Amino acid sequence: MPKHQQRAVWSWAFYDWANSAFATTVMAGFFPLFFKQYWSAGNAVTVSTFQLGSANSLAGLIVVILAPLLGAVADQGGAKKRFLLTFACLGIVMTGGLYWVEQGQWLMALVLYVLATIGFSASISFSDSLLVEVAPESRWDRVSALGYALGYLGGGLLFAVNVTMTLKPQWFGLADAAEAVRVSFVTVAVWWALFSLPVILFVKEQPRHGGQGRVWSRGFIQLRDTFREIRRLRQVFLFLLAYWFYIDGVDTIVRMAVDYGMSLGFDANSLIVALLVTQFVGFPAAIIFGRLGERYGARTGIYIAIVVYIGVTLWATTMDSVIEFYGLAMTIGLVQGGIQSLSRSCYARIIPVDKSAEFFGFYNMLGKFAVVLGPVMMGVVGLISDSPRLALLSIVVLFLAGGWLLSRVDLDQARRNSRLL
């Protein structure tokens, strides 16, 4: 690729490096841990799990409502970067605000977390839609994998620093581990803001013209027309439905893994180290999956990841040692970036390029709508059965349904239909 295009690709990929700090340090790592031990201290394990699962579901539901409409408006106004920046700022400010939440203030912690998660999720929707702007179609599998690989590496590096801060707070002039966790939220906000600059400065999108009022009205019209044409896009809808199920399983495991480990009585520090293992295994594995997608097709790679996830979930329901948790973390790291990156590049091929923000709005809408179901399902099953193992077992159904639906998608037909719109 020409040098200017290479710069755009790396700048775009670095937004994954930027926002993954939130996904690792906050979403998967410290927030569920700190919420259970600090903000919601004194509540039963199943109650705090239900509170956290409900917060994740609420954030997902709000993104479900907003993403397609804002995506259609962004398509019409050439405003993908503008919306990306707006929601990134929301996530950055709310994440930094967690520093000031005092012990026992579980409701305030959840409010800031929900707002930060909305900013994180919505900004990713607009970042995903820029994939079609930065690289030719033949490179989408590899470029998408590059983004996820950098995300695992960047998120893992900052997470490693944050973990060190909690284990050795005196090295950083901090009073104790609790203060170290609170400062970690601030470091995530700074990291996210700093490494968002390349995508803002160096990624170009096709300009659109028209007044702001016309942009919003055209956005509503585009969204309406897409709903009307959904019959012509049956294969796209079927792919989204498959994605809805299997990515729900992935995201539920990511968001609830630490909570699950603590419910089994595992040491908190061991759980955090296991998350670090996942990050650094995920970096090379995502690159490998990108090459696999180029050679054998994205769908084949997704199938491989789904099978591994089913095995991991079944294994997790019987594990009784931290060593097994480490093994699970390494196994997940081998496929997590692959299933995410190949889903993104596969979807980019079957949607109209000039409506990428809207269609990635639907993509993220169904992904987040699935997260409305997953954590709540796990929390409710846990409350009813009083068994975290049975709660986790329910996730297998999501992977099975997603894999079967994906097998029903005619990707060639979907690609032809998208070119007609």
Could you tell me the pTM of the whole model? Answer: 0.74
Looking at the 3D structure of the chain, how many domains does it have?
1
Is the pLDDT assigned to residue 29 strictly greater than 70?
Answer: yes
Phi first, then psi: give them for residue 173, nearest 5 degrees: 70, 25
The whole-angstrom separation of Cα 254 and Cα 263 is: 15
CA atoms within 13 A on the CB side of 139: 14
Digit-coded pLDDT (tens) for 304-343 = 999 998 988 888 878 777 788 888 888 888 888 788 888 8
What is the structure's pLDDT at 229? 62
Q: What angle do CA 287, 278, 7 make, to 5 degrees?
A: 35
pLDDT mean over 230-251: 82
CA dihedral 110, 115, 120, 124 (to 10 degrees): 130
Digit-coded pLDDT (tens) for 162-213 = 989 988 999 998 888 889 999 999 999 999 999 999 988 888 877 665 544 5
**1: three-class secondary structure by DSSP:** coil
Q: Which residue has the tokens 């993403």?
A: 67
What is the structure's pLDDT at 161? 92
The alpha carbon dihedral of 146, 305, 272, 34 has a sign of positive
Phi first, then psi: give them for residue 267, nearest 5 degrees: -65, 135
Would you say how long the chain is, in residues?
421
Amino acid 148 reads Y
Token pair listed for 144: 């998408």
Is the pLDDT assigned to residue 22 strictly greater than 90?
Answer: yes
Q: How far is CA 187 from the centre of its chain?
A: 19
Range of the domain at 142: 3-420
What is the structure's pLDDT at 292? 83
pLDDT mean over 98-117: 89
The whole-angstrom separation of Cα 42 and Cα 45 is: 9
Digit-coded pLDDT (tens) for 32-64 = 878 877 787 766 666 777 777 778 778 877 877
Phi first, then psi: give them for residue 102, nearest 5 degrees: -85, 165
Token pair listed for 162: 């944050």
CATH number at residue 283: 1.20.1250.20
